[in-house]
Homo-oligomer: A and B are copies of this chain.
Amino acid sequence: MAPGAPVGVYDSGFGGLTVLRELRRSLPALDVVYLGDSGRAPYGGRDADTVLDFAEQCVERLFGEGCQVIIVACHTVSCVALRHLQRRYGSAARRVLGVTIPAAEAAVAQTRGHIGFLGTARTVASHTFRTEVWKLAPQVAVSEVAAPLLAPLVEEGWEETGIARLAVQRYLAPFAGIDTLVLGCTHYPLLARAFRALVGPEIAVLNPAPEVAARFAAWRQRHPGLAPEGTGRLRILSSGDPARFARSAARFLGEEPPPIERVAERNGRLAPCPDGSDPVGQIVRPAEA
């Protein structure tokens, strides 16, 4: 086991930086490599096979960066692909952790009987959150609603606009009688102001990120050596435009990000791509020899 192995945090885009923020708050000396697959986000409307392909590429990239433990911050990946990633890559020396069980535990601890859950289309279609809640508390009602436009809206930087309020209002309309609303996508905490204004005081709005960080801190105590203390060094890799990522990152992370390192898909793998400027115009591949 490498002495200074960083922890990997994987998300489909910027959203997981809201989880990383909580992680750095509770464990400031942790070294972290964050991978945001922004170039291919959002995952929420994509087919399950594609989500699995992307998840494999991202997890392999993070193991390639020396990580021994990877936190899958993205609810879509966590709900659909976590078990696959754990079976394919997990071992005594390499772990893949998710966010769905922490979210379900926090919601069950909070609810008086009826949990609302908002997530991407793929997350909601999986019913993995509901499954995890019912393992803990079979008597609790769970209403799940898909909100496919909210993550792209936050990616666009429109979270403080009237558009955001109208969209949140529309997605809240189907819920009836819930007492706890789980923000089941890492982008939604940036819309917390709209949510709080629109749900009313009788409904608790739950951002699972602090619970994810708290549970990781406890897990780390039980697994000494896998996520050793470091110097708080943070690296950020992204498959998207680094300049665009850097502009959004501070908003999600709550601090200035380091320079964003570009990665890109090459022959089915996510590889470092230092000169990642996008080509312009028609692209013609050379004929195969």
Contacts and interface: CB of A to CB of B under 8 A. Distances in A.
Interface of A: 38-41, 45-50, 52, 79-84, 87-88, 122, 125-128, 131, 148-149, 152-153, 155-156, 158, 161-163, 166-167, 170, 239-241, 264-266, 278-285, 287
A45 to B, nearest CB: 5
Contact of A278 (B82, B125, B278): B125
A49 B148 contact: no
Given A80-B283, A278-B125, A47 B241 contact: yes
Contacts of A161: 166, 170
A72 to B, nearest CB: 12
Contacts of A38: 45
Contacts of A240: 45, 47
Copies of this protein in the complex = 2
A155 B148 CA distance: 9
Nearest to A39: B47
Given A46-B39, A148-B152, A149-B156, A52 B285 contact: yes
A219 to B, nearest CB: 20
Contact of A266 (B49, B79, B265): B49
Contacts of A40: 45-47, 50
Contact of A39 (B50, B81, B158, B285): B50
B52 A265 contact: no
Contacts of A87: 284, 287
